[in-house]
């Protein structure tokens, strides 16, 4: 598979709690040089990246990350600030506790609330598949679709497991038309990159792709 085509689908990621500005600059410089889809960064760095790089780089950030159990109002506030600071893409974590309690409608309502804030910005919904049963994953496919999000995303990379081919295939069965798929978490080899793309993933969240493809 062509290196350029893979990198165009990569959200070049640095979300470690101890990421320094030097780490972020390295990430951004690599993203620009390799024309990745975006950089996915902590909210605290959005404005500084935007002020430094302007339109040279597409900024993605995370909301309710990584555990998802912030109240909706907090996630809405995070999203609004991220957009003001210069983010164009939002990767939100669902309220996993709601899912485990069978409160699927509440999850859908929360996604709708962030969709309303995002408007013409890209909204990706992290469902953290490692914690969910197949029934719950199917319910989340429907919630993401009904709420009008742009993407369903497998994982934060901070849970007990990451993306699997089996989950991507399940998503394809149950997401609605127009919903894209982002695989993230544990994507660590060139074979992983190619396999997830071959299954139809439109985005890949990883910190390793640039290094693997150099």
* Residues marked as catalytic: 91, 153, 182
Those residues whose C-beta lies under 8 Å from the C-beta of residue 142, and which sit 6 or more positions away, are 104, 174, 176
Q: Are 27 and 40 in contact (CB under 8 A)?
A: no
Location of structure tokens 């995303």: 153
- Please list, residue by residue across 80-101, b when 16 or more beta carbons sit within 10 angstroms of its beta carbon and e when fewer do: eebbebbbbbbbbbbbbebbee
Q: Torsions phi, psi of 180, nearest 5?
A: -100, 170
Q: 156 in helix, strand or coil? A: coil
Peptide bond connecting 66 to the previous residue in cis, omega within 30 degrees of 0? yes
């Amino acid at each position: 598979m062509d290196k350029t085509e893979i990198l165009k689908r990569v959200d070049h990621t640095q979300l470690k709690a101890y990421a320094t500005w030097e780490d972020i600059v390295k990430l951004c410089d690599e993203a620009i040089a390799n024309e990745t889809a975006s950089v996915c960064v902590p909210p605290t760095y959005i404005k500084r990246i935007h002020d430094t790089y302007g339109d040279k780089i597409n900024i993605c950030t995370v909301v309710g990350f990584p555990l998802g159990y912030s109240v909706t109002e907090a996630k809405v506030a995070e999203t609004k600030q991220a957009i003001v600071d210069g983010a164009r893409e939002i990767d939100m974590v669902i309220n996993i506790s709601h899912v485990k309690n069978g409160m699927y409608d509440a999850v859908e309502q929360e996604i709708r609330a962030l969709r309303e804030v995002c408007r013409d910005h890209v909204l990706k919904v992290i469902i953290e598949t490692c914690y969910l049963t197949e029934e719950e994953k199917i319910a989340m496919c429907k919630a993401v679709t009904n709420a009008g999000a742009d993407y369903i995303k497998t994982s934060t990379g901070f849970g007990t497991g990451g993306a699997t081919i089996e989950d991507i295939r399940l998503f394809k069965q149950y997401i609605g038309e127009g919903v894209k798929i982002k695989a993230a978490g544990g994507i660590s080899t060139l074979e992983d990159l190619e396999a997830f793309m071959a299954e139809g993933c439109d985005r890949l969240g990883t910190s390793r792709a640039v290094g693997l493809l150099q």
